Amino acid sequence: MCNINITLQVADFGLTKLAQIGTTSQSLPTRVVGTFGYMSPEYAQYGEVSPKVDVFAFGIVLYELLSGKEAIVRSTEFMEAKSLVYLFEEALKLPDPKEALQGLIDPSLGGNYPIDSVLKIANLAKTCTHREPRMRPTMRSVVVALMALSSEDQDLASIVTGA
């Protein structure tokens, strides 16, 4: 979605909290609902909500930005739907992930992108979408990693892992 200044903005990110209108208590009774492709495993299975749920959803958004595809990909009407998490994880496991990633990147880019940066962003998204919430970075770490990538001043992996 673009605003009046043609600045891109993210919309329908995933999770929404529903609460009673007019409640002034610090502790609100809430029910969280979500968009399937953005749901973290712990939320989808157990209804557990934490900041790490948002980190997971942000990782999905990173995959969407790289691929130009929605969170759940269906190639044809008869083909099984696959998540971007699955597709990128499979590519990142291969001996030459850069080559595999080129098949997942938004074709409208026409190959005009630095593959090393794509690999770093894909690895960041992978850490954000880790199955175990405690293994996901904080959003602060994600922001710092993206800033480092944009300035090319620091190694992305050391920022995300804290090493």
Residue 28's pLDDT band (cuts 50, 70, 90) = very low
Backbone angles phi, psi at 125, to 5 degrees: -60, -35
CB neighbour class for 162 (10 Å; exposed up to 12, middle 13-18, buried from 19): exposed
> What pLDDT score does 159 carry?
46
Where exactly are the structural domains of the chain?
28-134
Least confident of 19-28, 51-60, 94-103: 19-28
In single-letter form, the type of residue at position 75 comes to S
Inter-residue contact 102 to 119 (CB < 8 Å): no
More confident residue, 47 or 14: 47
62-104 tens-digit pLDDT = 999 999 988 877 665 555 567 899 999 999 999 999 999 999 9
Backbone angles phi, psi at 158, to 5 degrees: -70, -30
Name residues whose C-beta falls within 8 Å of residue 115's C-beta, 6 or more positions apart in sequence. 98, 101, 102
Least confident of 15-29, 42-56, 80-94, 145-159: 15-29
pLDDT at 130 over 60: yes
User: Residue 82's CB: how many other CB atoms inside 10 A?
Assistant: 13
Q: For the chain, what is the mean pLDDT? A: 78
CATH domain 28-134 topology:
Transferase(Phosphotransferase); domain 1 (1.10.510)
Q: Of all residues in the chain, what percent carry a pLDDT higher than 90?
A: 47
Q: Which contacts of 96-105 are long-range, i.e. CB under 8 A and separated by 24 or more positions?
A: 97/122, 101/66, 104/66, 104/67, 105/66, 105/67, 105/68
pLDDT at 52 over 70: yes
> What pLDDT score does 91 carry?
96
Mean pLDDT of 7-20: 49
The H or E element containing residue 135 is none
pLDDT at 119 over 50: yes
Which residue, chain included where needed, has tokens 């999905």? 60
